[in-house]
Amino acid sequence: MSDHLNALPLWAAILIAALLVLGSSLTLIGTLGLVQLKSFFDRLHAPTLGTSWGTAATVLASMLMFSLLGGRTVIHELLIGVFVMITTPATLMLLGRAALHRDRAKEFPASEGGPKEDDHRERLPRDEV
C-alpha cells in the first residue's frame, strides 16, 4: 500500500511530513479552542487556525507529494486552498453579524416579529433613551 511513499526522496519525505504534522496540529488546536473558549465571539476566532495554515500546510504537502510522484507540476490542490482562504472570512463575518443581530433581538424583544419598517421606527426612540 505504501509503495508510492517509498519512491519519494528523503528530503521530500521530511518536508512533507513536517508540513502534514504542522497542518493537522494547528487544526486540532483550533478545534480545542472551539470547545474550550467561553463566549461565542471568542469561539468565532478559534477554527480560523485550521482554515488558514491548517489548510495551507496540508495542501502544500499534497501538492509537493503528487508533483514529485507524477514527475510534473500538480497544482490543482491550490483550488481548495484558495477557495477556503477566500470564503472563510466572508462566512465567519456573516455568522458574527447574525449572532450580533440575534443578541440585539434578545435584548429588545419588543422589536421582534413585525415588518422591518415598523421595527425600525419602533426601535429608534427606544435606542435613544
Partner 1 sequence: MSGTILLIAITYAQLALAAATCLASLRALHGPRAQDRVLGLDTLYVCAMLLLLVTGMRTNHVYFFEGALVIAVLGFVATVSLAKFLMRGEVIE
- In the complex with partner 1, the residue whose CB is nearer, 68 or 129, is 68
Task: Answer for the pair 96, 44: CB distance below 8 angstroms, yes or no.
Answer: yes
Pick from 42, 53, 67, 69: which binds partner 1 (CB under 8 A)? Answer: 69
Q: Count Cβ atoms below 10 Å from residue 99 Cβ, excluding itself.
A: 13
Measured CA to CA, the distance from residue 30 to residue 58 in angstroms comes to 15
Of residues 13, 15, 34, the one with CA closest to residue 23: 15
Q: Residue numbers of the site for partner 1 (CB under 8 A)?
A: 1-6, 8-10, 12-14, 16-18, 20-21, 23-25, 27-28, 30-32, 34-35, 40, 43-44, 47, 50-51, 54-55, 58-59, 61-62, 65-66, 69, 76-77, 79-80, 83-84, 87, 90-92, 94-95, 97-99, 101-102
